[in-house]
């Protein structure tokens, strides 16, 4: 089969005759049609994270069932499907994390396109129980971003945003997590970083979880205009804020830096003056470690910060006392549990997620995957790009 294979740092080859996968009885063989291009693909390509070559990359996959194993009962040849990038590998979901419902945090998680061969190839074999059927009315060149770019912020918003004391003191905690009565409904949300994951975060917060206000923060005006199309009610360009106030944020430290960060946070929250400057949930999708102190300053007391983007560097010059003083809940999020994937698929099928807006680049083919990675690094991809495998 034809496949995009990493043999080492920046050694990405399009191999015309890579060995076809062989399915087990419980697996299905998927003809991969499209994959989404993720920053993780870039970090693998640049050698920023370890991997064992040769490795087929690509973990946002949509395709068609080509073959069904003997014990795979839920799917049929010809079904359109998506595949979660991270799924359990412990066997029967019997590890401590899986038993607690965190199938995305399995002790032996399988990470497609990193730990095992991924979807930037003509075929991939995966367990049928972790392969999700989707209606043919959903274009596969858009559906491929659901497994990661959409599901990761979906899980963060749905399951990680509710403060523990709200759950503890609720007479019916389950209602806090249902879409129609979700805790975020009517609340104020701030999203830092409008990119491949930040875009879906804005869209989901506004459309699916029905937040009252969604404010997007970025340093590029085109991304902020993009956020407005996705449902943002307010936008803030943090770079412009610093320039207009004659501040060189990277040249100051200590109390001056803390004061500057507080000033930006006050500017952000001023957009919610009618709600007494209340910010109920902040999601950091930027992948920039210096954003975290701003998030802490921005969020209101007794509320939640969710780390969605992966920051490669540690936070500098930050006072942990602020977390105590504001009684903040800080949650990480990683991929998506299997029991939430069906809800995401249904949301897409019901058109409460704007995939057509989120996918901004559809012109890349497998042969131009390396060019796509370069374009992602150069900021030429506004939302999410998809790769045509065929």
DSSP 214-234: EEEEES-HHHHHHHHHHT-SE
Handedness of CA 126, 129, 131, 135 (dihedral sign): positive
Q: What is the pLDDT of residue 254?
A: 87
Mean pLDDT of 125-154: 97
Q: What is the pLDDT of residue 319?
A: 66
Helix residue ranges, H only, the chain: 39-45, 96-99, 140-143, 151-159, 164-168, 198-203, 221-230, 238-244, 254-269, 291-298, 321-326, 338-349, 355-358, 369-377
d(CA 60, CA 143): 9
Q: 55 - beta bridge partners?
A: 6
Q: What is the pLDDT of residue 165?
A: 97
Q: Which residues have a Cβ under 8 Å from the Cβ of 34 and sit 6 or more positions away?
A: 61, 62, 63, 140, 141, 143, 144, 386, 387, 388, 389
Mean pLDDT of 304-321: 83
Mean pLDDT of 193-222: 97
Pairing between β-strand 60-68 and β-strand 86-87 as defined by DSSP bridges: unpaired
Neighbour tally for 42: CB within 10 Å: 16
Domain range annotation of the chain: 3-149+336-388, 161-332
Q: If pLDDT is split at 50, 70 and 90, which confidence band does 318 have?
A: low
Starting at the edge strand that comes first in sequence, how are the strands of the sheet with 213-218 ordered? 234-237, 213-218, 188-192, 281-284, 304-307, 329-332
d(CA 277, CA 159): 24
Pairing between β-strand 234-237 and β-strand 213-218 as defined by DSSP bridges: parallel
**CATH code of domain 161-332:** 3.40.50.720
Q: What is the pLDDT of residue 362?
A: 97
Q: What is the pLDDT of residue 73?
A: 85
- Judge whether 3-149+336-388 and 161-332 match in fold: no
Tracing tokens 């990277």 back to the chain, one arrives at 250
Res. 359: pLDDT tops 90: yes
Q: What is the pLDDT of residue 250?
A: 85
Mean pLDDT of 10-16: 98
Mean pLDDT of 74-102: 95
**Structure tokens, 105:** 């945090």
- 233-269: pLDDT as tens digits: 999 999 999 999 999 988 888 889 989 999 999 999 9
Mean pLDDT of 288-311: 94
* Fold that domain 3-149+336-388 belongs to in CATH: Quinone Oxidoreductase; Chain A, domain 1 (3.90.180)
Q: What is the pLDDT of residue 390?
A: 84
Q: What is the pLDDT of residue 320?
A: 79
- 155-199: pLDDT as tens digits: 999 999 999 999 999 999 999 999 999 999 999 999 999 999 999
Q: If pLDDT is split at 50, 70 and 90, which confidence band does 99 have?
A: very high
Percent of the chain exceeding pLDDT 70 equals 99
Mean pLDDT of 79-95: 95
Res. 317: pLDDT tops 70: no
Instruction: Say if CB 27 and CB 129 are below 8 A apart.
Output: no
**Structure tokens, 258:** 């803390």
**Structure tokens, 179:** 């879409």
- Cβ-based burial of 318 (10 A; exposed 0-12, middle 13-18, buried ≥19): middle
Q: 64 - beta bridge partners?
A: 31, 80
User: Mean pLDDT across the chain, nearest whole number?
Assistant: 96
Percent of the chain exceeding pLDDT 90 equals 92
d(CA 159, CA 344): 13
Instruction: Say if CB 75 and CB 68 are below 8 A apart.
Output: yes
């Amino acid at each position: 089969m034809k496949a995009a294979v990493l043999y080492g740092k920046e050694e990405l080859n399009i191999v015309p005759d890579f060995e076809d996968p062989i399915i087990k009885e419980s697996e299905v063989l998927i003809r991969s049609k499209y994959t989404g291009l993720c920053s993780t693909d870039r970090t693998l390509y640049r050698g920023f994270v370890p991997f064992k070559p040769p490795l087929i990359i690509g973990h946002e996959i949509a395709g068609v069932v080509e073959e069904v194993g003997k014990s795979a009962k839920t799917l049929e040849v010809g079904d359109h499907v998506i595949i979660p990038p991270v799924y359990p590998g412990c066997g029967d979901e019997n590890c401590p994390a899986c038993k607690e419902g965190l199938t995305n945090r399995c002790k032996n998680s399988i990470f497609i396109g990193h730990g095992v061969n991924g979807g930037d190839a003509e075929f991939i074999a995966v367990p049928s129980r972790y392969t999700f059927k989707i209606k043919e009315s959903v274009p596969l060149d858009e559906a491929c971003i659901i497994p990661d770019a959409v599901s990761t912020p979906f899980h963060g918003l749905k399951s990680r945003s509710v403060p523990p004391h709200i759950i503890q003191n609720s007479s019916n905690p389950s209602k806090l997590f249902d879409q129609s009565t979700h805790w975020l409904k009517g609340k104020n949300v701030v999203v830092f970083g409008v990119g491949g994951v930040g875009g879906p975060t804005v869209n989901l917060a506004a459309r699916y979880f029905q937040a009252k206000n969604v404010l997007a923060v970025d340093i590029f005006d085109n991304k902020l205009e993009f956020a407005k199309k996705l449902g943002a009610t307010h936008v803030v360009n943090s770079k412009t804020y610093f320039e207009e106030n004659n501040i060189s944020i990277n040249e100051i430290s200590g109390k001056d830096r803390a004061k500057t960060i507080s000033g930006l946070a006050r500017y952000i929250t001023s957009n919610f003056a009618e709600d007494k400057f209340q910010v109920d949930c902040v999601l950091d999708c930027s992948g920039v470690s210096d954003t975290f102190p701003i998030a802490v300053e921005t969020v209101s007391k007794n509320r939640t910060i969710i780390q969605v983007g992966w920051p490669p560097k540690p936070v500098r010059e930050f006072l942990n006392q602020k977390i105590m003083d504001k009684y903040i809940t800080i949650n990480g999020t990683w991929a998506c549990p299997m029991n939430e994937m069906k809800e995401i698929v249904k949301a897409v099928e019901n058109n409460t997620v704007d995939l057509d807006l989120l996918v901004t680049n559809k012109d890349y083919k497998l042969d131009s995957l390396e060019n796509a990675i370069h374009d992602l690094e150069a900021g030429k991809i506004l939302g999410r790009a998809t790769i045509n495998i065929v």
